[in-house]
Structure 1
Amino acid sequence: MKLSDVTLRRVKATDKPQKFADGGGLYLYVAPTGGKLWRMDYRFEGKRKTLSFGAYPAVGLKDARARREEAKGQIAAGIDPGAHKKAAKEAARADTDSAFEIVAREWFDRQKDGWAESHAGKIMARLERDIFPVVGGRPVRDITAPMLLEALRRIESRGAVDTAHRALQTCGQVFRYAIATGRAEHNIAADLKGALPPVRGGHFASVKEPAAVGGLLRAIDAYTGNVIVRAALRIAPYVLVRPVELRRAEWAEFNLDANEWRIPATRMKMRELHIVPLARQVREILAELHQYTGGGRYLFPSMRANTATISDVTLLAALRRLGYGKDEMTVHGFRSMASTLLNEKGYNRDWIEKQLAHGERDTVRASYNFAQYLPERRKMMHEWADYLDELRGQSLSGTKV
């Protein structure tokens, strides 16, 4: 007799397993513990096998019968329904394991130890905000160029063209990792070359004309805002470091007897210990600043809490307060300002690049190269500081102020 919903609702567990048949090999297995499972016995290639369809009542009688008929159809077609179900599960699991977000996070975990914390944070934030919502759940091998371009267009639409290019670069690295791990065969990010508009400018806005640099330095000296912010702006032109490296500077990193600032590899973008020779002008500023923050960890602590540092926005706002628009000067612009003028003055390009920490990407070599060109760089940095003082003392017409 075939089963009915009424019969199924009345079924009670006993101290022994029970089977309630519905025909065609389908039956409800009732365990002593109370579990009710749909099963189907069948024969394939002369062997007796059992197929599971799920638990009652989550899988109702009607659904169980439909699955039985589907299985019978597979058997008639020469397909083992049990093997087919297992293969489908494995395929679904493979799709999950090869989802872009899973692959990207796996790639990120393998790479992040070689990056500065701030750099790693920016990469993951970019993926989570802009890429994962569009293609994160799709298997890497199924993502097409138009799909990825859709995510990039969303970034571009808010005016962040440079961010879109950086996101595309990151996606290309994820695809290459997917290929290496057997989860993709083609880097579709490479197919999008030329699909995004070029980044305008290509560099952070900065003052580069010598006379204008002098005006900027005088404006910073005249800044009447927070003394900590003023000190950060005064030091920035002399040290050539990235804004985040400057803002998070710690007193313990400075050796004034050796006239140098050693930024640990953990704080550097390239994960390489970086030495900044300190000119006399920087030491004088540090001596003044020490009166305000020397008792704490950071040179430039936040005005809200000593456990945090001032933000890039704070420094940027100070430049705006001095009258420099976003197309004229940025905090990062102090680096390009120095790079341009030092190259124009004929200093060895390798010395400049090393001092800008644009250096070695090979972490093994980098561990030995942090002091490369150090005597030359010390001389260059001291002469650079004196040159800035010279510019500070000139008017726009070139005469002394």
Structure 2
Amino acid sequence: MNAVAERWHEHKAASWSPFHQQKVIDRWRTHIQPKVGHVPVRSITAEMLWDRVIKPIQEAGKRESANRVRHALLSMMTFAEDLGLIPNGLNPARELNGRGRRESRPLLSALDLDSARTLLRSVEAAQGKRTSKLALRFAAVTAAAPESVCTSQWSQFAWLDTRSAVWRMPLPSGGHFMHPLSRQACEVLQSARAIGGHTSLVFPVAQSSHQPLSESALVRLSGRGSIRALETVHIWRHVFRHVMSGKHPDRLALVSACLGAEKAEGITCGCSDPGLDERRSFMQEYADLLVDGFPPSRAVISGGMHGSGRP
């Protein structure tokens, strides 16, 4: 399987960001290669993948990691199937779907606006590093993908002191998606700048560090809230879709546009995009609803980690 994995990495590398590529390689080396890397791809079974790879990760309490490894295995084995290395229809990774997952998993639609506000309040009141709390609030008010939040750099932001504040989110295929920022998002960035040291990253793991926060750090932080966080790093994107679709059932296309649907269609939104102002108004309405009455982020992080002065 080692040879298949190497060809799969080479095939996918062009469409991955350097950060995502390194994450995939780390998962392969940590969770997959030691267990089944030496096994010929035709000899791999669903039971082997489950018993040796997925089950141990789940039993360690790392359900999100297990899901990501499951997805990587499916992509890798499908690639092998397309190459004719395993018979069509006999992809063992497909048999992993649904295995070991909880039957009574919370519904995404169950996290309404009031529940989302309660979750965010409880997380911000709990122990946690200041940078992680800022990243979580930024993810909440922007409804951006966690990977984009964690790896964001100061060079990607423009006009933060004006009503035209925007985030130039890089696309894997090149170009940028122009994501308009609300007043609350800009306020989080101001707080991040105050504690971020001299790093190019907005949310580094530590002051003056060049290593970005991990998505799992945001999941762990969300899990400290009084409401059990959904087992997904995309929780705030689901909240945005649920809240704004409910308030504006006739504007579903705009909801999707705010979440970056243009990226999937190969369209890059620029400053001249006629829908930019409309999306900006939508994002501001959502941020006002979500954090209305919340203390500013600088107040939330003023104490840092309880009993610790670390960032």
**TM-score normalised by structure 2 residue count:** 0.70
Q: 2:44 aligns with which of 143, 157, 161?
A: 143
Structure 2 contact 78–91 (Cα < 8 Å) conserved: no
Q: Residue 103 of structure 1: CA displacement? A: 0.9
Q: Mapping of 1:192-207 within 5 angstroms?
A: 192=95, 196-200=99-103
Distance 1:126 1:204, change over 3 A: farther
Look up the match of 2:255. 352
Pair 1:183 & 2:183 matched: no
SS of residue paired to 2:72: helix
CA distance in 2, matches of 1:384, 1:336: 13
Query: How many angstroms does 1:378 deviate by?
Result: 1.9
Distance across 1 between alignment mates of 2:105 and 2:77: 26
Distance 1:271 1:123, change over 3 A: farther
> Could you say if the C-alpha distance between residues 370 and 103 of structure 1 is closer, same or farther in structure 2, counting changes exceeding 3 Å?
farther
Verify the 8 A CA contact 2:182 2:283 in the aligned structure 1. yes
Q: Equivalents in 2 of 1:108, 1:124: separation in Å?
A: 8
Decide which of 199, 208, 214 is 1:305's aligned counterpart.
Answer: 208
Contact 1:145 1:192 in 2 (8 A): yes
1:107 to partner: Cα distance: 1.0
1: CA distance between counterparts of 2:204 and 2:110? 27
Q: In structure 2, what residue type is equivalent to 1:344?
A: G
Which structure shows the higher strand fraction?
Answer: 1
Distance across 1 between alignment mates of 2:116 and 2:176: 29
Query: Following superposition of structure 1 onto structure 2, how do residues 104-253 of structure 1 map, counting pairs within 5 Å?
Result: 104-151=5-52, 152-158=54-60, 163-164=65-66, 166-186=68-88, 187-189=90-92, 192=95, 196-200=99-103, 208-216=111-119, 228-253=131-156
Q: Deviations over 1:135-161 (max 9, x none)?
A: 322332333444444434444544556
The 3 A distance-change label for structure 1 pair 358 and 127 is: farther
Deviation at 1:382, TM superposition (A): 1.7
The number of equivalent residue pairs is 286
Is 1:263 the counterpart of 2:169? The answer is yes
Aligned to 2:242: 340
Secondary structure of 1:383's counterpart equals helix
Residue range with higher mean Cα deviation, 347-356 or 223-232: 223-232
Query: Offset at 1:276?
Result: 1.7
Specify every segment of 5 or more residues in structure 2 that has no aligned partner in the other structure, as ranges. Answer: 296-311
CA contact under 8 A between 1:206 and 1:334: conserved in structure 2? no
Partners in 1 of 2:190 and 2:65 — Cα distance? 39
Q: Which has the larger radius of gyration?
A: 1
**Percent of matched pairs sharing the same residue:** 24
Measure, in 2, the Cα distance between the counterparts of 1:222 and 1:150.
39
Cα deviation digits, residues 98-133 of structure 1 (max 9, x gap): xx1111221111102212344333433333333333
The residue that corresponds to 1:284 in the other structure is 187
Query: Contact between 2:119 and 2:222, CA under 8 Å: does it hold in 1?
Result: no
| CA distance, structure 2, for counterparts of residue 141 and residue 330 of structure 1 | 32
8 Å CA contact 2:134, 2:192 repeated in 1 = yes
Q: CA deviation at 1:279?
A: 1.5
Contact 2:177 2:269 in 1 (8 A): yes
Cα distance change of structure 1 residues 229 and 168 upon mapping to structure 2, 3 Å threshold? closer
Q: Deviations over 1:58-100 (max 9, x none)?
A: xxxxxxxxxxxxxxxxxxxxxxxxxxxxxxxxxxxxxxxxxx1
User: 1:161–1:197: 8 Å Cα contact kept in structure 2?
Assistant: no
CA distance in 2, matches of 1:331, 1:208: 14
RMSD of equivalent CA atoms: 4.0
Deviations 1:184-238 (A, max 9, x none): 3334326626672345566798983333444455557768976544543443321
Cα separation, partners in 2 of 1:222 and 1:206, compared to 1, 3 Å: farther
CA contact (8 A) 1:207 1:328 kept: no
1:376 corresponds to which letter in structure 2? E
Q: Distance in 1 between matches of 2:9 and 2:58?
A: 24
The 3 A distance-change label for structure 1 pair 173 and 326 is same
Runs of 5+ unmatched residues, structure 1: 1-99, 394-401
Q: Which amino acid aligns with 1:131?
A: I
